[in-house]
Structure 1
Amino acid sequence: MVTGATRGIGRALVEILLQQPDKQVIAAVRHLQSADAKSLSALPRASGTTLTLVKIDSSRRSDAQAALDILKEDGIEKIDTIVANAGIAHEGIQISETDLDVVGQQMENNLIGPWALFKAFRPLLLASKEPKFVALSTEVASLTLRDSLPPVKLSAYGASKIALNYFVNRLAAEEAWLTCFAIHPGVVNTALGDKAIKALGGITMNNLLQDGRAVTVGKAAQRVIKFIETANKETVSGLVFDSSSGSTIPW
């Protein structure tokens, strides 16, 4: 199951997974009737592979449980992998100028959303032989790397992802049966990535794509899927990884 599946990395993940035979892919979207959501059903898929759309808005705490109930009614009894991809980031501004409601919105979507997702779907993960819960994070959330990274003004976003990383770490400690980790997809040519680059000034996403410092959503999704498929609980659980290098990102 992939959340935030209508655009960006989430959509690319769904597109790639649908090309694998005999898969049951669940795409979680905010609005089932949106054009983007409906277009997912038209994506090509491999033999034996199915796609199910379900409504999960990460800002609505009851959505995950409601989605679980619907999926169980449809006969889905287990989920092997959940990718908590859905998230938001607002325009970068100074901390002193940031609306606290904006901070709350990002915490709601980027931390509480995945938290509610795990709580609701825990029974279906428990039913899997090799359950995995993966959260999309960012190197911006690394306090160790802060001074070596470009000075992007994404304080609320970064704080929410730091909280998400801690959640993943505690989840791995408390749920020993679960392979659980966070992953940074790299600098990706998405609306969010472009927003962060523009906030820096003096450089464009095209510049970064040309010199290899950024990748397309398709390439980022391929890296994420490869990492997930080869992840070993004993070596990855509770940690944050860079999908491009496979190395851990420090706290």
Structure 2
Amino acid sequence: MSININNKTALVTGANRGIGKAIVESFLSHGAKKVYLAVRNLESTNALVAAYGDRVQPVHVDLANAESIKQLAQQANDVEIVVNNAGVLEVANPLSENAESALNHELTVNTFGLLRMAQAFTPVLEQHNNSAFVQLNSVASIKNFADFTTYSASKAAAYSITQGLKETLAEKNVQVLSVHPGPIDTDMATQAGMGDGAESTNTVSEGIVSALQSGQFHLFPDNMAQTFEGAYNSYANNIIEADLSEG
């Protein structure tokens, strides 16, 4: 399936900064008709509203709150592309005192948030002939990094759910894209101590536009991620994306 951004209505969670903001800007530059800016603090989108006017619409969502996600789907009931970008990261290795609380927080937002977004928006997306659900995962969903163990665990679970969505949403003519960036120049990367050498957010956002158009499932947008892709590609093609039902 090929998805062209032009004239589409999209929704991006965590749209006010970092990768989310870059996705909004890339979508609009490629001709998106409207982009919902799904954030916790509506005032944080003021700069985007000033720049793009009625081509963007701020809407409230809290990915830790199931009812908030349901209300968002009712409000943004014309979307054709959903980008679940918002996420949280806490520094915690397996023996850290905060490991359990960190994992609970990250699972709530990164994993259950994805599950609830998919369940809420699938009835909306399947109304269209050409729609997509984009999930921001991470290279950390494939390899654990000890100081970010709980984050890696939440993203690994999210990646597994994304694979399930690929299969189930294909029956509804909804394309699924799993995005796996390495260190990107965001507040989250700085918080994690990975800001040095991090690549531009535009690398991810433009990669998403291209990946949707080419109909691929995995996107490894930056240099570090592409190193992972080189090693992972055979497994992804022969196991993750293969139809193993025809044993």
Q: TM-score range by the shorter chain?
A: 0.7 to 0.9
Measured after TM superposition, the shift of residue 22 of structure 1 is: 5.2
1:223 maps to what in 2?
A: 207
In the alignment, is residue 9 of structure 1 matched against residue 19 of structure 2? yes
1:241 maps to what in 2?
A: 219
Q: Distance in 2 between matches of 1:229 and 1:57?
A: 29
**Does the aligned pair in 2 maintain the 1:134–1:181 contact within 8 Å?**
yes
Measured after TM superposition, the shift of residue 94 of structure 1 is: 4.5
In the alignment, is residue 37 of structure 1 matched against residue 45 of structure 2? yes
In the alignment, is residue 28 of structure 1 matched against residue 38 of structure 2? yes
Measured after TM superposition, the shift of residue 107 of structure 1 is: 0.2
Alignment of 1:138-217 (within 5 A): 138-143=138-143, 146=144, 151-176=145-170, 177-197=173-193, 205-206=195-196, 208=197, 214-217=198-201
Measured after TM superposition, the shift of residue 161 of structure 1 is: 0.4
Q: Distance in 1 between matches of 2:92 and 2:210?
A: 31
Q: Distance in 1 between matches of 2:165 and 2:32?
A: 30
1:202 maps to what in 2?
A: none
**Cα deviation 1:104-157 (Å, max 9, x = unaligned):** 1100100111111111111111012122111101111214xx5xxxx5511111
Query: How many pairs does the alignment contain?
Result: 217
Task: Give me the TM-score of the superposition, normalised by structure 2.
Answer: 0.78
Runs of 5+ unmatched residues, structure 2: 1-10, 237-247
Q: Distance in 2 between matches of 1:39 and 1:127?
A: 32
Q: Read off the aligned partner of 2:159 and give its amino acid letter.
A: N
Taking only aligned residues, the RMSD between alpha carbons, in angstroms, comes to 2.3
Measured after TM superposition, the shift of residue 58 of structure 1 is: 0.7
Q: Distance in 2 between matches of 1:70 and 1:174?
A: 24
Change (3 A) 1:192 1:152: farther
* Aligned-pair identity (%): 23
**Does the aligned pair in 1 maintain the 2:12–2:38 contact within 8 Å?**
yes
Q: Distance in 2 between matches of 1:22 and 1:188?
A: 24
Q: Read off the aligned partner of 2:161 and give its amino acid letter.
A: F
Task: Give me the TM-score of the superposition, normalised by structure 1.
Answer: 0.77
Q: Distance in 1 between matches of 2:65 and 2:113?
A: 8
Measured after TM superposition, the shift of residue 99 of structure 1 is: 4.2
1:101 match: secondary structure:
helix
2:91 match: secondary structure:
coil
**Does the aligned pair in 1 maintain the 2:135–2:177 contact within 8 Å?**
yes
2:67 to 40, 62, 65: 62
**Does the aligned pair in 1 maintain the 2:93–2:99 contact within 8 Å?**
no
**Does the aligned pair in 2 maintain the 1:185–1:224 contact within 8 Å?**
no
Measured after TM superposition, the shift of residue 14 of structure 1 is: 0.8
Q: Distance in 2 between matches of 1:57 and 1:95?
A: 29
